[in-house]
Every structure is written in structure tokens, then in C-alpha cells.
Amino acid sequence: MRLKHYLFRIITLIAVGMTCNLNVSATDYDSGLVGDVNHDGRLSITDISMLINDLLTDAHANYLSDINRDRRLSIADVSELIDMVLNYPDCNLCFTIDDWRFTMVRVKGGTFTLGAAQGQDSEAYYDEFPAHQVTLSDYYIGQCEVDQMLWYHVMDGLPLDNDDQECPVVNVSWEDCQDFINTLNQLTGLNFRLPTEAEWEFAARGGNLSQHYKYSGSNDFDEVAWCEENSNDWLHRTGEKKPNELGIYDMSGNAWEWCYDWWGMYESAAVVNPTGPESGSERVCRGGCMNGHARFCRIGYRMSYPPFTRRPELGFRLAL
């Protein structure tokens, strides 16, 4: 009966071509999960019902109802939300902070080999051994590196030497990232964090859809990575290169990315949801960067810095 009720209401909307203009400014798009009309932290049929009701009653709904961000409500928003709900929680999640949107990609859990990839042993460095089996639960990871505009909207300012809003934010230490994440969590009521090293590598390899590429999404670095060979030593805007199997951008090249873990040598035993050593002096970074050789953009390559380090090629992406 509930399904028939919703179908009837949707048919009514189509028949009358209902739209509802939203009297909102950029600052009215505050923060939250896009499509979460009732603010309960998830997507459900209740959100669909409330959105339809907003349209039928000509209500002035909030920014989370405006799924396609055209500052009006229409059947297009309902259609997009239905698709999101039907696929939730397996769909990607979109969030908005002020008027800036970012996407978290769903990574289905699985088992993979972390470390020196088979067939690439000759290129692997000492700390990529021993390769070992890792099993991960489901999680989300940023479709792109955190860009400068997202940092600006969360922190109300930018670190030094950040001057292109769509480029990755850089010159941020691991500790700076924690401050950003804590503020973001206060704004959203969610639990964003840095990815673990294992989560980062699994996502970079394409998760359960992996084609076992050398770089994230290709065996040709030029298709997927900004590095010394093609970047003119410039940081580039996120998402300009080809995505990997999961639709994630720039996991090879552009900016190094902080991970949660302390750096340490691998062990050979199989592990489940590892978070790295309990202590250390340096935190892991992954992915390579715009002014480093392509060989450093290989998925398995590891780098590390003390957690207070800030560098002009060092940024991060979020996990959830």
C-alpha cells in the first residue's frame, strides 16, 4: 500500500509538472548528507515522502532536498533521490558544506594482497615486503583529494601557498588533518577520518573490481597520474585524469596523501582491518605527487613523514 501511495503521488507530480523554487543563497547550503531530508543521517523512503510532500504543498524545503542543486524542487530531485535510496547504502554519498559539494565512494569490503604486487616485485622497495593477505570491511573514501575550497569552507581559511580552489589542499600536516576532520565531524555529526594504509591501497587497486594495474586505474601513468614526467611540477585540479575502477581520482600522483597509520614494516600474517603499528615516529603517506617520478606513483609505493610535517606536495583524502 505504501508503494502504491508513493507511486500515485509521483504520477501526480509528473502530471502537473510541479516545481517549487527555493529562496536560498549560497550560505543556506550549510552541511550534511545530500538527500537526507529528515536529518537522520541516512537515506530512506521517509526522505522520499518528505520531498514529495514539499513539492505538493509548495513548501520551502531545506538545502538537502535540492538533490541536483538547481535551487528549485522538481520531479528530477524526486527521481534522483529514489535512485539513491534504492541503492543505499551501496551508493556513493554526496555531502555539502556551505555551497561546496564533495563525494564519498562506497568501497565494498573484501580480501586482497597488500604490498609488493605479483609481477611487479622487481620494482618494489624493501618496505613493500612481505606481501600479505588483508581483509577489510565496507567503508567510504573520498572520490577526490580534499580540495582547497572544501578546506576553506570547513576551516574558514586556507593554509599558506594554496591558490587554486579546485586543486588539492597541500601544506597540511597530519595533525592539521585531524583538526580539519574534527571540525568537519562537528559540522556533519558524522565520523570522517583518514583512511588506513590498507583501506587506501585497496581503494587505489580498485577494490573488488581491481584489474591489477600498476598505477591506480591504468598501467600507463600518463592516463591517471600527474607526476614529474607530465605535470611541469605544478599541482593540478582534482579529477582531471582518468578515474580508477571504483571511479576514484588521483590516487596516483598530484599530491601525496596522509594515511592514519604509523609507518612500520609489514608482517607476513593475514590480518583483518589493520590500523598499523601502535606507535612510531612517522605517519604513512601514499600515492606519489606532481613533482616526483612516476615510479613513486605505483600503488604499492610507501612514503612517510613526521606528523607535524607540512610540504607543498602533501595533502589527504577522507574516509568514512
pLDDT along the chain (320 residues), means of 10: 47 41 38 75 77 70 67 78 73 84 93 87 89 96 96 86 82 97 93 98 97 96 96 94 96 98 96 97 98 96 98 97
Q: Does domain 103-316 have CATH number 3.90.1580.10?
A: yes
Long-range contacts at 100-103 (CB < 8 A, ≥ 24 apart): 100/149, 100/150, 100/153, 101/34, 101/69, 102/142, 102/143, 102/144, 102/146, 102/147, 102/150, 102/318, 103/142, 103/143, 103/144
pLDDT at 170: 95
Contact 203, 105 (CB under 8 A): yes
Strand 271-272 with 132-136, pairing? parallel
pLDDT at 59: 56
Q: What is the CATH number of domain 2-90?
A: 1.10.1330
Residue 288: per-residue pLDDT = 97
Determine contact, residues 290/313, Cβ cutoff 8 Å.
yes
Which residue carries 614494516 as its cell? 265
The pLDDT of residue 19 is 42
- The confidence score (pLDDT) of residue 88 equals 64
Query: In the chain, where are the structural domains located?
Result: 2-90, 103-316
**DSSP-derived secondary structure letter, 82:** H
Count of Cβ atoms closer than 10 Å to residue 7 Cβ: 10
**Contact between 184 and 154 (Cβ < 8 Å):** yes
The answer to whether the peptide bond before residue 312 is cis (omega within 30 degrees of 0) is no
Coil vs helix vs strand at 202: helix
- For the chain, the first-to-last Cα distance in angstroms comes to 36
**Dist. CA 311–CA 290, nearest whole Å:** 12
Burial grade of 122 (CB within 10 A; 0-12, 13-18, 19 or more): exposed
The Cα 96–Cα 288 span in angstroms is 28
Distances (CA, A) of 254 to 148, 181, 222: 14, 21, 12
